Amino acid sequence: MFTRVCKEDTIFEGGIRVVIAGSHIVILAWPENGAIKAFQGVCPHTNQPLAEADFDGTVLTCPVHAWTWDMNTGEAIHPKESALAEYPVKIEDGVVYVDTESVSPLFAAR
């Protein structure tokens, strides 16, 4: 089930925004030359919210221990250990919706 999370015009290409969808913290990312994506908004390392993460337009960096992810895919860059879970996104009439129902956040083994 899709949950309304924000208006489309509150996120910009090259930017990120943290929103709540149901009981999930979600980070919306709009990579440069890409599309709006939604990933888990907590770090797989320690469950730290990623609200203060740095985003250079492609790479998201956790502010705590600097793990990094490609926000086009959620794949881990460094370390390679743990990707970010990706949620389905749809945009209708200028509103962003995220479906968290069948996706759970991923966590690192260590």
Applying CB under 6 A, which residues contact ligand FES?
Answer: 43, 45-46, 48, 62, 64-65, 67
Rounded to the nearest whole angstrom, what is the least distance from the CB of residue 44 to ligand FES in the complex? Answer: 8
- Phi, psi dihedral angles at 2 (to 5 degrees): -80, 140
CA R_g for the chain? 13
Rounded to the nearest whole angstrom, what is the least distance from the CB of residue 92 to ligand FES in the complex? Answer: 33
Rounded to the nearest whole angstrom, what is the least distance from the CB of residue 100 to ligand FES in the complex? Answer: 21
* Beta carbon nearer to ligand FES, 10 or 46: 46
